[in-house]
Every structure is written in C-alpha cells, then in structure tokens.
A and B are shown apart, each in its own frame.
Chain A
C-alpha cells in the first residue's frame, strides 16, 4: 500500500468540556419542556407511590401516653386493647435501703412488710412534687386576691372589677381567664375565687405535710431500682396473657404479632414476636407504650413495599426508555456531526440526573405529605409530633436515591447502546 498515508494527518476529536455538555443538557430539558414534564411525571408518580407506602411506617407508631403513672407501661393493639401494666418487680426493704432510700420512707411505704411496690414509692414522690408546685401557685392566688379585695373595699358585690386591676395586683393571666370565663368580673366572683384558693391552700398544705418525707428520697435511688427491677417486654406480655382466658394466648398472639415500642424519650423498637428471645432482652422503661400489630398487617406492608418498588421501577423505566428511544435518530445525527460517544452518554446522564432528581424529590415530598395529612385526619395532629425528623430525612433520601438510580440506569443503558451503534443504524430506527 505504497503512497497511502498513515492516519497521522487525521486529528483526534476533542472531548467537549463537561461544563459545556452540562449546559447543553440543561438547554435540552428546557427546549423539550413539554416532553420532559411528561417523562418526569412518570418518575414523580412512581416515587410518590413508593414513599407513600414507606411513610406508612412513620405514622403507625402509637402516641406516647401522657397520663401514665410512674412504673407503668401501656399495652395496646392485638392483645387486649389498651391497658396499663406495672413494669417494676417488687423491691425488698434491704435493696431499697442499699439504694439509698431513707428508712422512715421505707417503713411508711412498705407498711412493715419485707417487699413493697416501687411504683407506689414513685407515685408518692410524684405527689409531693406536684403538690408543692400547686401549693406555690395557690399561695400566689391567695395573696393576689386579698390585695384585690382590699383595693375594692367599699364596692358592692355586683360592681365590676377591671382586668387591669386584677393584673396590677399580681393575679396570673391563667387565673384571670379562668374566673372571667370570657365575660367580666364582679366583686362577688373575686370573693368566691378567693375563698376557693384559701381552701385549696389548706388541702395542699395538709397533703404536703403528709407526704413530706418522700421529698428526701434521692432521684437516683429510684432510677437505679427502676432499672434493676425492670421487667422485660416478654414478662409484660406474659402478664397480658395471664389476663386472657386461654393459657396459650400469648403463644398464639406472639406468633401473629409484630410489636412497636416507643416512649416520650424517643425510644423506638420494632420487633417481630415470633422471636421471643429479643423480647426477653428488652427492659421496660416507665412510660413505654407497646402496640402489638397483626403480623398479617406487617406482611401486607412488606408486600406493598415490594409491589410499589416494582411498579415504580417499571413505570420509570418505561418512561425513560421511551424518551431515549425516540431520540435514537437524534443520537445518530449528532454522531454524524462529530459527537463522541462520551458526549452522548454525558448528555443523557446529566439530563436524567436533573430530571430524575427533581421529579423524585417532588414525588417523595408529595408522597410523604399525602400520607401525613391522611394520618392527621385519621389520628390527630399528635401523629406528626412523634415522628423523628431523622426518619423523615432517611425516607426522603431513600425515595430520591431510588428515583435517581432507576432513572439514570433506565436512561443510560439505552443511550450507551445507541451511542455504540454505527450511526447508520441509529439513523434507521423508527419509533
């Protein structure tokens, strides 16, 4: 082959700077906005569906109870409906003494017996604490009322007292609201309220004297005894079984339940009761709520998650595959005009990341909000307050990551195939 030149005098096509390729992708999305929106809505719906199903897990947690006594946990759901169960085993006098509970307190609470209930002690400590804070408030009211009555001396019973006077004499806003009941206050109202305040101070003082010895119990002693004497979740579940009519109810219940345990401190445990071993390891904490759900429900939930994943994957793949296939000719043309495979792939990569990211972010938000709104309508606003923000972020990022991943793979795979075809073949394709 003499005289034939070597390929040295053909240059090499330069790679397009990534920034320029990115700008072209942006422009592409803008130019085919109508089509982009249609494609994106496929991704949007898929992810909205997936996140709606996933978010069910956020709102199925029970609300931590507010009105629960110390040393108790509440059980709800499959077992027996709501009921409070004591979660501390009885304490012996020696144990309590060792933990630092004063002897006079032990003597009073145990009534001379060897063992006593720790929750009774905790309740008594609660009583003295709340009594003292209420007493403080009641005393403020009494002194305020006496000042008000002094300033109103000489007034008739049905004469008005302005809110300004009440406030100036140091009556708390809450109390003003309570006695005014939305209307105006007359002298006789103040007299009645003053008498009531004096009575409640007397009652509270009597109770304070009665419970005063419990003030001396160190907080730490209760904490220590509470954790030493805590029953396990399995113990509590057994108590509920003994309350039931059949002996093997627990076994039956256990085999079809999955349990959600939560409390105000934000502890969250989900366990499957087919595995009682783990239930034996979980120590109960005062104020826990345990919700036992039907295991069939949990399976249904899992099935829904799997189905929604499939639906969203196939829906997105379908939308993106169509969007790329209808541009095969365009890819062929661009290659005729000097585009490198790398550029073609880059262009579709950027487009799919932008489109997939935006659409799945929107879808994840809508799916989450929809689920939350439905839960609020069903169970009240409390459902939202107990949701951990970290769980929400985790869910949103799972949704967005899944959407991006599926979109990118569904776009890039056919784009690579089209880029690697001889341009003549890409130009021949008809959709």
Chain B
C-alpha cells in the first residue's frame, strides 16, 4: 500500500443536507490529495464542513456527488462487506467524544476491532495489551471508560484505532474535549505514531496546537477549501501554552 503515492483523494466532493425546505451545502466541490505518511490537519471554524469531510473520507456517510478514493479505490463502488473491511483494517477512527463502549474495559475496547477482523482471541488480547502499553496505559487495561480521565480515554481510543494496523488514522477533533496539557499529549502521541509507524493522520480540528506538528494544513470555510498550507509556509508561531 505504501507504494501508492496518494492514500486519499477526493474529486468534486459535494454533500447536501436537507432540513425541511432548506438545503444546506456542507461540502462544495472539494478536491483533495493526501500522500501516504502525511500528517494533515483540516482546520476551520465550527460548521465549516470539517466533520462532514471527515465522515466522507472515513466512509461513514455517502457523498451527494463526487468520489472519494482510498488507495485509489472508489469508495462508492464498494459493497457493505468491502466497506466494513476498509473500516476495519485500512482506517482507524478517533472521535471528539471518544466513543468507547462504556460497559467494556480498556482492553476489551481495544480488542474489539481485532474480533471483527477475525483474529483469534488470545492474539487479540496480546495485540490489545501491546497497544495499551504503546499509549502508556498498560496498567489500566481492566478499567472501564468511566474510571479513566478524558485524556486516558482518548489514548484508549487511539490504541483501538491502531488495532488492525491501519494505513490511515482519521481523527475528528481529537483534542476537542480535553484541556490544553492533555490535548498536547494526545497531539504528541499522534505525531509519534505518524513518525514511528508511518501512519497517515488526517485530523479535523480547530486546535491551533495541531499546526505545529502538521505537514500540511487544509483550511476549510463554508464547505470549500480556502487554502492549503505547508508547514514551512506558516510563520505563525504557536507559543508553548502548557495550560498549567
């Protein structure tokens, strides 16, 4: 898969939402090419269409028109089983609200995608333990989400997104519900995974701390791509807001 230059491409991507009589154009002709191994931040104010773009790329919703290619495969062509395969093994998801299964322990949450991938039980356990160690929660494996702090829950969610070695991690405002310091830790963790494991990270955010680590920043406004900046272009210096 790493031989493909572009891991995600979108073409003429549009998404309309109909609310009663009014039609809202959430995405308007979005063209986007994301290279393998990039750290991308999708920036924009609330309601700009970040999350909608996130859902389209992740195959969580269907575009009104246009196409999304993952590894050069048109997502619209996939049937339910292939889409599930893609969600299970190619993409890892991280959400603002963590979306852990509340009744399951950290270990069971991380193990869940391996069960869907058909991995035998003991292998899944080993894999989940290794991932929890990776995100620094090896000792908290038997805790339920309610017994973990927000930052810890998000780290469990990151471990879960890595369960089946995905090529892409999609993160929808991963630091949105966290304080500054914890947010910084999560960003650092994502950056580390991006560098060490070569995972492409696409993160919708309005957290300026993200700018510092991103390879490219895509600014979205009113459903359109406003501008795309390489990090080297940005002069903006993000101060060290440690939030202590």
Interface residues of A (CB under 8 A from B): 3-7, 9-14, 16, 20, 24, 28, 31-32, 329-330, 332-341, 343, 422-425, 427
User: Within 8 Å CB of B69, what residues of A?
Assistant: 4
B84 to A13, Cβ gap below 8 A? yes
Check A5 against B72 for contact (C-beta < 8 Å). yes
Contact B61 A422 (CB under 8 A): yes
Chain B residues, Cβ within 8 Å of A422: 55, 60-62
CB contact under 8 A between A339 and B60, given known A7-B77, A16-B118: no
Known: A336-B60, A339-B116. A13 touches B73 (CB 8 A): no
Partner of B116, one of A7, A16, A28, A341: A16
Q: Is B71's CB within 8 Å of the partner chain A?
A: yes
Binds A, one of B35-43, B95-103, B181-189: B95-103
Complex Cα–Cα for A7 and B76 (A):
10
Q: A5-B71, A11-B85, A341-B80 are in contact. Are A425 and B116 (CB under 8 A)?
A: no
Residues A424 and B60 in contact, CB atoms below 8 Å apart: yes
8 Å CB interface, B34-55 against A: 55
In the complex, the answer to whether A337 meets B82 with C-beta atoms within 8 Å is no
B219 within 8 A of A: no
Partner of B117, one of A6, A24, A338: A338
Given contacts A12-B85, A13-B84, A424-B61, whether A7 and B74 have CB atoms under 8 Å apart is yes
Contact of A338 with B88 in the complex, beta carbons under 8 Å: yes
Check B60–A13 contact: CB distance below 8 A. no
One of B88, B95, B113, B115 near A427 (C-beta < 8 A): B95
Measured in the bound complex, the distance between the Cα atoms of B83 and A339 in whole Å is 10
- Tally B residues with Cβ within 8 Å of A: 39
Q: B206 at the A/B interface (Cβ < 8 Å)?
A: no
Tell me, in angstroms, the Cα distance from A360 to B55 when the chains sit together. Answer: 42
Tell whether B87 is near chain A: CB-to-CB under 8 Å. yes
In the bound complex, how far is the Cα of B61 from the Cα of A5, in angstroms?
22
Q: Could you say which of A11, A31, A336, A338 has the most chain B C-beta atoms within 10 Å of its C-beta?
A: A338
CB neighbours of B163 from chain A (8 A): 337
**Cα of A149 to Cα of B133 in the assembled complex, Å:** 99
A154 to chain B, nearest CB (A): 90
Complex CA gap A341/B103 in Å reads 21
Inter-chain contacts of B62 with A (CB < 8 A): 422
A333 to B87: give the CA distance in the assembly, Å: 11
23 pairs, A vs B, C-beta closer than 8 Å: A4-B74, A6-B73, A7-B78, A10-B73, A11-B85, A13-B85, A16-B118, A20-B115, A31-B103, A31-B104, A329-B99, A335-B87, A336-B58, A336-B60, A337-B87, A337-B88, A337-B113, A338-B117, A339-B116, A422-B55, A423-B61, A425-B61, A427-B99
Q: Shortest beta-carbon distance, B51 to chain A, in Å?
A: 8
User: A338 vs B60: C-alpha distance in the bound complex, in angstroms?
Assistant: 11
Contact check, B82 vs A338: say whether CB atoms are below 8 A apart.
no
B221 interface residue per 8 A CB criterion: no
Please give me the residue from chain A that is nearest to B69 by CB atom. Answer: A4
Q: Which of B71, B100, B115 has the most CB of A within 10 A?
A: B115
B180, CB-defined interface residue at 8 Å: no
**Chain B residues whose CB sits within 8 angstroms of the CB of A9 once the complex forms:** 71, 73
> Are the C-beta atoms of A336 and B93 separated by less than 8 Å?
yes
Partner of A340, one of B77, B80, B113: B80
Q: Which of B77, B79, B84 sits near A338, CB closer than 8 Å?
A: B84
Q: CA of A334 to CA of B104 in the docked complex: distance in angstroms?
A: 13
Interchain CB contact under 8 A, B78 and A340? no
Q: Which residue of B lies closest to A24 (CB)?
A: B115
B32 interfacial contact with A, CB 8 Å: no
Q: Contacts of A28 on B, CB cut-off 8 Å?
A: 103
Give the Cβ gap from A17 to chain B, nearest Cβ, in Å.
9
B86 part of interface (Cβ distance < 8 Å) = yes
> In this complex, which of B84, B87, B93 has the most chain A Cβ atoms within 10 angstroms of its Cβ?
B84
Q: Which residue of B lies closest to A333 (CB)?
A: B99
Q: B224 contacts which chain A residues (CB < 8 A)?
A: none
> In the complex where A422-B60, A422-B62 touch, is A16 in contact with B101 (Cβ < 8 A)?
no
- Could you tell me the distance in whole angstroms from the C-beta of B22 to the nearest C-beta in chain A? 19
Establish whether residues B82 and A333, one from each chain, have CB atoms under 8 Å apart when the complex forms: no
Q: Is B89 an interface residue (CB 8 A)?
A: yes
Bound complex: CA of A61 vs CA of B77, how far in Å? 67
B11: nearest residue on chain A (CB-CB)? A1
The reply to whether the CB of B81 lies closer than 8 angstroms to some CB of chain A is yes
Q: State how many angstroms separate the Cβ of B39 from the closest Cβ of chain A.
A: 21
Residues of chain A contacted by B95 (CB below 8 angstroms): 427
In the complex, chain B residues whose CB is within 8 Å of the CB of A329:
99
B160 within 8 A of A: yes
Task: Please name all residues of chain A whose beta carbon is closer than 8 Å to the beta carbon of B112 when the two chains form the complex.
Answer: 334, 337
Nearest chain A residue, comparing its CB with the CB of B4: A5
Given A335-B84, A340-B81, 4 extra CB contacts under 8 A: A10-B71, A330-B101, A332-B99, A333-B100
Contact A10 B116 (CB under 8 A): no
Task: Indicate if the CB atoms of B85 and A3 lie closer than 8 Å.
Answer: no
Alpha-carbon gap, A333 to B118, bound state (A):
18
Distance of A14 Cα from B81 Cα, bound (Å): 8
In the complex, what distance in Å separates the CA atom of A32 from the CA atom of B101?
11
Q: Which B residues touch A336, using CB under 8 A?
A: 58, 60, 87, 93, 99
Known contacts: A338-B88, A339-B116. The answer to whether A13 contacts B82 by CB under 8 A is: yes
B87 cross-chain contacts in A, Cβ below 8 A: 335-338, 423
